[in-house]
């Protein structure tokens, strides 16, 4: 009995030693860890990668037409002639068939499958950029909610101190009840915002978990800075960036597919030529011993099918023209979108600097007026206005910092930066 319990105890300890590191590995504390977790667990990204593997398989299937096709066969047949005599024939053979020329249909099929592979790669890249943007926005939301929770707590403490100051002046007969009620209402508002900030923080954490992949992760002390990595001093080459975006790459691949579609349509007008050969054994008994060899050239040429092939060529040409026009439209829209996102990024960066100056001014004025109100040199209304401006400046600066991070995330998505680029 003691031995049985000891074995169970050892197994429990060993299991704990294995599981504890795994549990610790579930904790996410930084942006890079969010990215790695999303790469491994985001279901949309995993589905896109499966789609890419299917496109690769389609390309491999199309390319298999270049290679010879070999088959092995065996048969047994029994026949009866007019005199009711029965005979049995056995045969076994190996046959090989090699494409020599098919009007370039096989090259066109391979080219189209390769273009489809490139198109799928662009679609996956575009999806990855979208997932990265959603993940980044969720991450920014966590950072903002965390800072908001800290800020609202600071504001609530300041409001509580203000109530105590006004109450002392009211009890000394130097302030009226309206001022005290206003200060208490400001405190109640600040306390409500603390509770609201906590709820928003809980929600933002859940949004981040969902963006990662919905797994049971732990967000242990999420850390990050309200700073961007883009160099705003250097004007980017917008047209060149547009050429390398997933959207434009997808449109280019569509043009390439259509071009091969025209080639495939023309190929239907040409003959197909195959070389076939077989080697086998045939006899009246098993195992057969009589050798049989054969070789042949097979040529097929379409003559007339009601003009359907010529119509198919025209249709393929129209499709090529359509995809070329779509490419030009996509390029123009991408350039405009990049220019707009770059402009928004610069605006957001400038807004941060402006709001920072307003915050510094509000802090200086609040310090001065607070001292004046304490000594009776400033009225309650003037003091309350300055206090409100300080609170609003603090919130505005935090919002500006957050909007700058969001503007950068939009800019990077427009450029096509995905999770794999992190």
| Average pLDDT over every residue of 13-33 | 54
pTM over 0.85: no
| Average pLDDT over every residue of 4-26 | 39
pLDDT: which is higher, 170 or 304: 170
In whole angstroms, what is the distance from residue 50 CA to residue 78 CA? 50
First to last CA, the chain: 56
Query: In the predicted model, is pLDDT for residue 70 greater than 90?
Result: no
Between helix 31-41 and helix 43-63 the angle, nearest 10°, is 50
Query: In the predicted model, is pLDDT for residue 308 greater than 50?
Result: yes
Closest listed residue to residue 220, CA positions, set 311, 146, 290: 146
Q: Tell the burial category of 415 from Cβ atoms under 10 Å away from its Cβ (0-12, 13-18, 19+).
A: buried
Query: In the predicted model, is pLDDT for residue 415 greater than 90?
Result: yes
Per-residue model confidence (pLDDT) at position 3: 37
Pairing type for strands 218-219 and 69-80 reads: unpaired
pLDDT digit string, tens, across residues 78-131: 766 556 667 777 777 788 777 666 767 788 888 999 999 999 999 999 999 999
| Domain ranges within the chain, ordered by starting residue | 27-77+87-415
Task: Tell me the H-state helices in 296-379.
Answer: 308-374
| Average pLDDT over every residue of 393-397 | 97
pLDDT digit string, tens, across residues 129-147: 999 999 999 999 999 999 9
Domain 27-77+87-415 classified CATH 1.20.1600.10?
A: yes
Query: In the predicted model, is pLDDT for residue 309 greater than 90?
Result: no
Query: In the predicted model, is pLDDT for residue 20 greater than 90?
Result: no
Per the listing, tokens 């009226």 go with 176
Per-residue model confidence (pLDDT) at position 97: 76
In the structure, what pLDDT confidence band is assigned to residue 215 with cuts at 50, 70 and 90? low
pLDDT: which is higher, 161 or 304: 161
In whole angstroms, what is the distance from residue 108 CA to residue 268 CA? 11
In the structure, what pLDDT confidence band is assigned to residue 220 with cuts at 50, 70 and 90? low
In the structure, what pLDDT confidence band is assigned to residue 45 with cuts at 50, 70 and 90? very high
Query: In the predicted model, is pLDDT for residue 306 greater than 70?
Result: no
User: CA 230, 234, 237 angle in degrees (round to 5)?
Assistant: 95
Query: In the predicted model, is pLDDT for residue 10 greater than 60?
Result: no
DSSP states of 21-75: HHHHHTEE-SHHHHHHHHHHH-HHHHHHHHHHHHHHHHHHHHHGGGS-EEEEEEE
């Amino acid at each position: 009995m003691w031995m049985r319990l000891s074995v169970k105890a050892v197994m429990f300890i060993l299991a704990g030693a294995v599981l504890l590191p795994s549990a610790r590995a579930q904790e996410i504390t930084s942006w890079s860890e969010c990215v790695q977790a999303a790469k491994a667990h985001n279901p949309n990204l995993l589905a896109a990668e499966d789609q890419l593997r299917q496109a690769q398989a389609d390309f491999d299937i199309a390319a298999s037409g270049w290679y010879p096709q070999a088959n092995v066969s065996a048969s047994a047949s029994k026949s009866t002639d007019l005199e009711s005599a029965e005979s049995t024939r056995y045969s076994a053979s190996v046959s090989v068939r090699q494409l020599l020329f098919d009007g370039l249909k096989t090259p066109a099929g391979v080219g189209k499958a390769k273009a489809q592979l490139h198109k799928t790669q662009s679609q996956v890249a575009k999806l990855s950029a979208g997932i990265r943007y959603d993940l980044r926005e969720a991450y920014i939301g966590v950072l903002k909610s965390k800072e908001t929770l800290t800020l609202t707590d600071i504001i609530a403490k300041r409001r509580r101190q203000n109530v105590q100051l006004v109450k002392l002046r009211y009890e000394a007969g130097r302030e009226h009840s309206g001022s005290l009620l206003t200060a208490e209402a400001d405190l109640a508002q600040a306390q409500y915002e603390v509770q609201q900030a906590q709820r928003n923080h809980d929600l933002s954490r859940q949004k981040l978990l969902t963006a990662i992949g919905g797994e049971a992760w732990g967000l242990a002390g999420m850390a990050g800075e309200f700073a961007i990595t883009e160099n705003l001093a250097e004007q980017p080459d917008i047209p060149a960036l547009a050429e390398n975006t997933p959207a434009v790459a997808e449109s280019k691949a569509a043009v390439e597919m259509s071009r091969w579609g025209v080639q495939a349509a023309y190929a239907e007008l040409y003959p197909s030529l195959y070389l076939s050969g077989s080697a086998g054994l045939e006899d009246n008994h098993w195992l057969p011993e009589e050798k049989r060899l054969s070789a042949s050239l097979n040529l097929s040429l379409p003559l007339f099918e009601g003009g359907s092939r010529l119509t198919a060529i025209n249709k393929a040409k129209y499709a090529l023209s359509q995809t070329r026009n779509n490419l030009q439209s996509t390029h123009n829209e991408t350039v405009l979108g990049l220019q707009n996102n770059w402009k928004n990024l610069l605006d957001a960066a400038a807004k941060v600097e402006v709001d920072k100056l307003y915050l510094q001014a509000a802090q200086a004025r609040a310090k001065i007026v607070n001292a004046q109100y304490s000594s009776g040199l400033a009225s309650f209304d003037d003091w309350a206005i300055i206090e409100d401006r300080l609170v609003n400046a603090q919130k505005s600066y935090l919002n500006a910092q957050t909007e700058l991070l969001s503007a950068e995330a939009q800019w990077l998505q427009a450029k096509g930066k995905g999770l794999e680029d992190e």
